[in-house]
């Protein structure tokens, strides 16, 4: 059996792949790299939620949604410019709003590593990774109640 290429995986499969990879990096004491993988999983989870909302609410072609995701520029842009407006005045609005408070922590740590070359130690990385786990599982479970990230 051959392994499915990353580009051919669904958003949820990609999210879980990122999480498995971060567990290996964390175990190898590569704290900063593990944190960046966690942040990537969070952004992919956001992509999943946005794609699901567009699918449920409209009839946009996949390439149009992909372009909107690209142009939204990062997890904060995706949440503020796409997901929040999509869930406004729906049953998911309060839950998404509550989850977005976690994104500030995730995004700040990710950007410190990626854009400023900073490092995180085990304690700092572990804390942000757990925050990211809460965000990812909380967001995805709004659409897939049984979703869980690998331990």
Residue 53 maps to which CATH number? 1.20.120.330
Find, among 38, 29, 25, 20, the residue nearest to 128 by Cα: 38
148 found inside a domain: no
Range of the domain at 108: 10-140
Residue 43 lies in a domain: yes
The reply to whether the predicted model has a pTM over 0.85 is yes
Q: pLDDT digit string (tens) for 95-143?
A: 999 998 899 999 999 999 999 999 999 999 999 999 999 999 999 999 9
On whether residue 147 sits in a domain, the answer given is: no
Whether 1 maps to a domain, the answer reads no
């Amino acid at each position: 059996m051959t392994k499915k290429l990353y580009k051919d995986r669904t958003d949820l499969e990609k999210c879980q792949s990122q999480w498995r990879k971060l567990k290996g990096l964390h175990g190898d004491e590569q704290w900063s790299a593990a944190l960046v993988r966690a942040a990537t999983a969070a952004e992919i989870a956001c992509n999943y939620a946005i794609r699901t909302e567009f699918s449920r609410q409209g009839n946009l072609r996949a390439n149009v949604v992909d372009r909107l995701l690209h142009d939204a520029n990062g997890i904060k842009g995706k949440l503020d410019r796409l997901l929040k407006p999509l869930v406004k005045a729906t049953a998911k609005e309060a839950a998404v709003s509550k989850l977005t408070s976690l994104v500030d922590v995730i995004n700040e740590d990710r950007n410190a590593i990626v854009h400023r070359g900073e490092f995180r130690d085990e304690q700092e990385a572990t804390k942000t990774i757990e925050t990211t786990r809460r965000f990812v599982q909380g967001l995805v479970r709004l659409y897939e109640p049984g979703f869980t990230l690998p331990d």
